[in-house]
Amino acid sequence: MKKLLLSIVMFFVVLTGFAANASAVDLTRRLGVGVDSTIANYLDDGRGVSVVFYINKFFGLQVIFGLSTLTATIKDPNQPKMDNGIKGTVVDYYSFDTTITDWTVSLRGLIPIVLTKDVNLTGVVGFTASGRDSDGFASTDPKYMQFNDGYQFSIDLGVRPEYFFNDRFSIHTQVGIGISILTENDSAVVYGLSSSNEAFASTKASGAHMSFFKNVDLLGEAGFTFWF
């Protein structure tokens, strides 16, 4: 374990040696606004608006915030209103109001490892809280458990290459390790086998879901930033 940690430290030290040069993109005291996503996305996609501020050339702070809300009046097909005058005739269905809100807040540190004229390679370390408020909705049916109320915490460890078209605009992709911490308070559905070998699903689970570079694709959770 010590050798592994030492190797990781040496890796970053070596990369840092290539970091700055006279023509490198320097983001010191720059503010950036754009779109980004978390690497860990077991419960949701982690997407949202991104605000970045670089304290100096080698460290920046990023906040990602995402919110979606559904507000609707739903008619329940299982609760029909019957016409008392005509036996067996359905005239309408009972309805109810519902509001479902999904939210994500992530705080991340951005550590440039390699700086060049047009491309920066940046290390990402982040902590995310996400959740869902469904008006107290609580189902034991595996098809609907994902809509139960709950919240979840996760950790991002990754790298992101960022290409600068000019001094004001950049795009990036990212890849890495996402660790989602499962608790009995979140709505992530976990499947298992009982002592009698019967399959079941539950949101009452404790543990962790780890994703090792599972977000690798053509875009790799791409985002963009406009710099001020």
Q: What is the pLDDT of residues 157-200, one digit of tens each?
A: 999 999 999 989 999 988 888 888 876 665 566 666 666 666 65
The per-residue pLDDT for 107 is: 95
Lowest mean pLDDT among 36-50, 70-84, 92-106, 128-142: 70-84
- Per residue in 86-95, pLDDT tens? 666 665 667 7
- Cα–Cα distance, 49 to 214 (Å, whole number): 22
Closest residue by Cα to residue 29 from 51, 6, 54, 57: 54
The per-residue pLDDT for 187 is: 56
Domain with residues 2-70+98-227, CATH architecture: Beta Barrel (2.40)
The per-residue pLDDT for 77 is: 67
Beta-strand pair 169-172/190-193: unpaired
Closest residue by Cα to residue 68 from 182, 179, 147: 147
Q: How high is the mean pLDDT of the chain?
A: 76
Provide mean pLDDT across the span 60-77. Answer: 84
The per-residue pLDDT for 11 is: 45
Task: Convert 149-163 to b/e letters by CB count within 10 Å (16 or more is b).
Answer: bbebbbbbebbbebe
Q: Of the segments 59-63, 129-133, 155-159, 198-202, which one has the largest average pLDDT value? A: 59-63
The per-residue pLDDT for 14 is: 45
- Cα–Cα distance, 32 to 41 (Å, whole number): 23
Provide mean pLDDT across the span 94-107. Answer: 82
Torsion of CA 46, 102, 133, 128, to 10 degrees: 20
